[in-house]
Amino acid sequence: MIDTHCHLNDAKYEDVDEIVNNFLQAGVEKAICVGWDLKSSKQAQDIAYKYPSVYYAVGVHPDECSSYNAQELQNLIVKDNKLVAVGEIGLDYYHNKENKAQQKQVFENQILIAKQHKLPIIIHCRDAFGDTLEILKKHAPFDYGAVMHCYSGSWEFAKQIISLGVKISFTGSVTFNNAKNLHEVAKNIPLDSFFFETDSPYMTPVPNRGKRNEPKLVLDVARFVAKLRNMDENKLISITDKTAKEFFNL
């Protein structure tokens, strides 16, 4: 099993050795450590170089868009076999709707950089579905892949981005009891259009709510969706892993 999005570079983890060991022991073979600004992107790279099972993505999250510097991001993009995507990038009007123009500009600039380097993008979208869709339509097709991570939208919106070739990735939020919209998405989405992540240390899935999340718990996310779809858990994981491996070229 693969955790396609985690933050081993988050300050909440002082014990990365142990966290990596935990996921390997649990049967999670690989995890992708994702940056949210230039510093955390560099840290993601350092962590990926240290652990054979960890890969990384570099990018500037919309919350950090005022610190964006295209040249510094370009400097972080190196040809190794561990950099798998540009992310996380996107729009977040939940945290800040005063700087929409800057968020859009930084998002689009990073889409172009990803395309230039033939890398997929990992999209963060919160309360910004209309503008995200507009930008995705403008830049489609995504020959190297695009995934909307920590999916939080409706089934209607999911269908629209899937038709643009965008994948969806589910976190622990899909396991929440009140997440009826996500249950609908997880039940109906075509089998080849999604995979799983933890977004750890945040978004801890049921049944460990209240505890710090970590990559090994991606199994709980997959288990929940397998139950929703009335599917054998291992069968589902083998399909979503295949999708994730092709997507990130793992």
Q: Where along the sequence are the contacts to Zn ion (CB under 5 A)?
A: 199
* Residue (123 or 219) nearer to Zn ion, CB: 123
Q: Give min distance, CB of 74 to Zn ion, in A.
A: 22
Task: Report the residue number, 104 or 124, with the smaller CB distance to Zn ion.
Answer: 124
Main-chain phi, psi angles of 82, to 5 degrees: -120, -25
Least distance from Zn ion to the Cβ atom of residue 169, Å = 10
Residue nearest to Zn ion (CB): 199
State how far the Cα of 82 lies from the Cα of 61, in Å rounded to an integer. 20
The least CB distance from residue 5 to Zn ion, in Å, is 6
CB nearer to Zn ion: give 47 or 226: 47
- Shortest approach of Zn ion to residue 126 CB, angstroms? 11
Helices (H), the chain: 16-26, 38-50, 70-76, 100-116, 129-139, 155-163, 180-188, 218-228, 233-248
Q: Which two tokens stand for residue 241?
A: 């892993």
Closer CB to Zn ion, 199 or 220, in the complex: 199
